[in-house]
Amino acid sequence: MDLQLDRAYAAFEEGTDFTVGLEEEFAIVDPLDLGLVQRFEELHSAAAEDPVLPEAITGELISSEIEIRSGRGEGLPSAVAAQRDRRRRLFALAAEHGALLAATGTHPWSDYREQHIIETEHYQRVEHGLKYVAWRNNTFSLHVHVGVHGADRVVQVCDRLRTVAPLLLANSANSPFLDGRNSGLHSARSQIFTKSFPRCGIPDEFGSWAKFADYIDLLTSTNSIVEYTQVWWSLRPHLAFGTVEVRICDAQSTAAESEGLASLIVACVAQAARDIDEGVPVRSAPRREIEENFWRAIRHGLDGRMIDLDSRQEYPAADALDRLLTWTAPARADLGVEVSLPELNGAQRQRRMLATGASLREVYAATVEATRETYSGLGSPAEVRR
C-alpha cells in the first residue's frame, strides 16, 4: 500500500483539474415480472462483439447488476457524450437478449437471499470479509469522478464536501421501497449500504495528504484492508484515477436526472477547489453534526428539513438545490456547467404514485419504462427545477 500511496501522490501532483468520469449502476430485471435476474455474466460475454462495451461495462457485487462507465473525459461534456453512447449500446444489448435495465437505488421486492455474488477476486474478498453485510447490499448508485490537481488539495476538497454530501443525497433520493414494502425512507439504499458497511459514510476531516495517508497506512498495517477500495466513504480520493470520487447518490431513473446530478457534483468539486485556492474560510463541522443532515436526507429526502450548521437553524430540504446553485455559481460560470433537475426527485414521484393508489409493481414499472426511454436514447421530457 505504501507504493500505491506513493504512486497516487505523484499522480495527484501531476493531475489535471476537472476531468470527469461517470459510473452508473443498473439492476438487470426480467421483462415480464420485473424481478431481478442474474444475467450479468451473459451480458458481459455478449458485449465482446461490441467495439466499445468490453471496456465500458463491469460487474458490481451481484450477478443481477451491471455498471456502465464513461471513461475519462477532459471535461463534463465529453464524459456525458461518451456515457450516452455507451448507455445506448448497453441498453440495445440488453434488449437483444431479452432483459430490461432499471435504475432505482434499491429493487422494491426482490429477495437479497436469492442473489449471487459475482466471481471476481475483489467481490469474493468483499463477501468473505463482510458476509451478511455484503449479501444484504443489493443497491444501485451513481458515482462521479472529478480530477483535482495536488495531493493536499484533493484531501482538502473532500474535507469541504463533507457538509455538502447530505444535500446531494437529498436531491438524489430514489429508493423508497425495499423488501416488498414502503420503507418510510427516501433513500433505503443509504441505510442498508452506508449505515452497514465499515469505513463508509461521511469521512473524518484530514486536512492534508500526510494525515490521510497515515490513516490508510494504519488500515493496511493492521490487516484491516488489503486494498484501498475497501474504504467505502461517500466521497474519497480515488488513488487509481487521481480524482475526487463522489459516491453518495442513488441511481437515477432518468438520464436527465443522472446527468443533472453529475453536473451538480462537478460544480461542487470545482467550487470547493476554487474556495481553497482563494483562501475562503470554512467552519470545520464535526462528523456528528453532518450525520444529522445525512439521516434527514435518508429519512425524508427533499420532503423534510435540513440544518444550516453555521446558523444552527433548520430550512426546507427543498431549498438545498438553490443553496448549492448559489454556492457553485462562480465555478459553474468558469466551466460553463448548467444544472437541470426535475421538479420532484425519484423518491417523491414514487411515493406520490403509491399514495394515489398505484401498486408497488405499477410504480416500479413506470420507473423502469422511464429508464428504458431516456437511457436508451428514445428520450422523454422532464419538468425542470433549475
**Four-residue CA torsion sign, 51, 52, 57, 58:** positive
- Which of 81-90, 260-269, 334-343, 371-380 shows the lowest per-residue confidence on average (mean pLDDT)? 371-380
**Tens digits of per-residue pLDDT, 280-320?**
999 999 999 999 999 999 999 999 999 999 999 999 999 99
Q: Are 75 and 18 in contact (CB under 8 A)?
A: yes
Q: How far is CA 54 from CA 25, 48, 375, in A?
A: 16, 6, 19
Q: What is the CATH number of the domain that holds 75?
A: 3.30.590.20
Is residue 37 assigned to a domain?
Answer: yes
Close Cβ partners of 51 (under 8 Å, ≥ 6 residues apart): none
Average pLDDT, the chain: 95
d(CA 59, CA 203): 26
Residue 3 pLDDT grade (very low, low, confident, very high; cuts 50, 70, 90): low
Radius of gyration of the chain (CA): 20
Is residue 175 assigned to a domain?
Answer: yes
pLDDT at 385: 44
**Residue 132 in this model has a pLDDT that exceeds 80:** yes
Residue 4 pLDDT grade (very low, low, confident, very high; cuts 50, 70, 90): confident
Is residue 348 assigned to a domain?
Answer: yes
**Residue 226 in this model has a pLDDT that exceeds 60:** yes
d(CA 137, CA 189): 8
Within 10 angstroms of residue 227's Cβ, the number of other Cβ atoms is 13
**Tens digits of per-residue pLDDT, 187-225?**
999 999 998 999 999 999 999 999 999 999 999 999 999
How many distinct structural domains can be found in the chain? 1
**Tens digits of per-residue pLDDT, 159-191?**
999 999 999 999 999 999 999 999 999 999 999
Within 10 angstroms of residue 367's Cβ, the number of other Cβ atoms is 22
Is residue 385 assigned to a domain?
Answer: no
176 exposed, middle or buried (CB, 10 Å; 0-12, 13-18, 19+)?
buried
pLDDT at 380: 53
Q: How far is CA 14 from CA 7, 10, 154, in A?
A: 11, 6, 12
**Residue 381 in this model has a pLDDT that exceeds 60:** no
Is residue 58 assigned to a domain?
Answer: yes
Is residue 107 assigned to a domain?
Answer: yes
> Following DSSP, what letter does each residue of 332-370 receive, concatenated?
HHHHT-----BSS-HHHHHHHHHHTT--HHHHHHHHHHH
Containing structural domain, residue 53: 2-375
Is residue 380 assigned to a domain?
Answer: no
Main-chain dihedrals φ then ψ at residue 226, nearest 5 degrees: -115, -10
pLDDT at 210: 97
Q: Are 216 and 138 in contact (CB under 8 A)?
A: no
Is residue 325 assigned to a domain?
Answer: yes
Distance between terminal CA atoms of the chain? Answer: 43
With a pLDDT cut of 90, the percent of the chain lying above it is 94
305 exposed, middle or buried (CB, 10 Å; 0-12, 13-18, 19+)?
middle
Note the Cα 50 to chain centre separation in Å: 26
